[in-house]
Amino acid sequence: MATADADDAPLLADEPLRPGSCSRELELREFRDRYVFRSLDGGGAFAVARADGSLRTLSPEEAASGTNCKVSRIYGVGGMIRMLAGSYVLVITSCKGAGSYQASTVYHVNSMKFLCCNDAIKHLTSEEKRDEAYFMSLLRIAETTCGLYYSYDRDLTLNLQRASKLATGRVHKPLWKQADPRFVWNRNLLEELIETKTEKFTLKDGPVRITLFSRRCNRRLGTRMWRRGANLEGATANFVETEQLVKYEGLTSSFIQVRGSIPLLWEQIVDLSYKPRPSIIEHEEMTKVVQRHFHDLLQRYGDTMVVDLTDKEGDEGNLSNAFAAEMQKFPDIRYVHFDFHHICGGGNFDNLQGLYDEIEEAILKQGYFLMNSKGEILLEQNGVVRSNCIDCLDRTNVTQSFLARKSLDSQLQRMGALPSAESISQSNSINDKFKKLWVQHGDELSLEYAGSYALKGDLVRYGRQTLPGLIKDGMSALSRYYLNNFHDGVRQDALDLISGYYTVSKSSSSPFQIIGFEPYLPVASAIIVGGITVTTFTLSQVGRSAQHLISSIIFAGLTAGMVALVKANGKQLCSRPRLCGLI
């Protein structure tokens, strides 16, 4: 989930705590033998032993007793994970208000910390100690995870339409029992213990509030190059449900879109090239994987329409053609291909109107959700558009913003905030705020998946590419290249550990044996840079003696040979995940 507040966004009072709401502030008391967590607003208390991570509930008197301890304020306990030497407890050490959702404050996690309960480390073997040290380094990476949001008294994992149709009994259950487990980042960590973006503007002298709320699925969580396509259960990488909420004079509407990687079994292994070639993984269950994916979407959202934004030619074309061939086996699901790069080449964002003209009837039929101030449902959304490109970032965000603007016009017209023939695009100030909202939204999702800001932000903001935008895109592209090749393997391990896809066990062999030639990349890089430098220097001295020419040829040959060796072994030299396989 991602958040940005407009300076003029109104403050909304929190609703009273309802059954199942959480403690807003906790006191952490650190003793030599235990951690004590005590609620400061009337909740309970518990202790975690520092030796082995065992839990014990405490009475208020027990929680407040004891001296000679370090006392600090924390804002939540994210859960616990067990490893070789004991347990580690995740706590939220800093947060800030980031907006509101249905009159409840949404908080952004500024910082987190794992508390160690691992006294048993002294009993581990030397190899186990090395493994535990690496696991701990992965936890440190997990502590820096961006884009995490939460609420103390509102379930953020359910969109407005689903939340409004909850059974009465379920509403009074604890928040963690109401939640959609797909969108709970720390679901695995909680087992041991158990993206709002906002803009406001005025139409017809009444305030209109627009909120973007994105929920990232945890079923195929990962980094850009190490989590592509689908797994055997049909869950896809970078699957995000985006909800556009609109509030005006007591009416609240919601428009849902989803994005997700092409739901085939495919990979795109980094190999030091700028754009590694995607390849399809041959598997006998390919069609069943696609079927499982769309069965889940149909069950959750109803009628599903696929908008594929990939290139029709080249490596992307091979993947797109395979996707199209699979979709022919599912005649009840409409598949639309739109070659974004070809049709919108040169940064002509307005050409997306052709796509909208093709699918307008279906989008209007799917509709949107509308509810009045009494909670009565006036309209329901009966389907969803599923958009994808290769990364489901840049092209997808531009397209979703276009469809969202079209839906926003319809929502505001139905609410009476706009005349039937008008659009927000006719007001520069309102349209600019809307575009800014989607640019920030795209940046947040890109940072979480690719590690850099989104590309093509200019197309959303201005409808064309600008020179500053090209420079920003170039810097983001370089950042993606570096992170994908030299950092994301370790980051993928951290995500697999936190999400529970890898379970630490003493009975398993160490997963951290050296793979390939990763440790030798710095040496190879130094030799290449040194060879180029020496070759350049000796070439400048060729006129003085023939010996410099021979030296230049030798060093140039050595450098070329090292470059060829690095290129040939690119996959082995890049940072690779070691805990889990690709699917």
483: confidence class by pLDDT, cuts 50, 70, 90: confident
CB atoms within 10 A of CB 533: 12
What CA–CA distance (Å, rounded) separates 422 from 443? 29
- 339, with CB counted inside 10 A (0-12, 13-18, 19+), is middle
CA distance 163 to 180: 10
Query: Helix axis angle, 488-499 relative to 126-143, nearest 10°?
Result: 90
Helix (H, G, I), strand (E, B) or coil at 26: strand
Token pair for 186: 């720390």
Residue 541: pLDDT over 90: no
Average model confidence (pLDDT) for the chain? 85
- List, for residues 233-270, the tens digit of each pLDDT value: 999 999 999 999 999 999 999 999 999 999 999 999 98
What pLDDT digit, counting tens, does each position of 341-397 carry? 999 987 678 899 999 999 999 999 999 999 999 999 999 999 999 999 999 999 999
Rounded average pLDDT over 84-112: 92
> CA-CA distance, 343 to 309, in Å (whole number)?
10
Amino acid at 59: S
503: pLDDT strictly greater than 80: yes
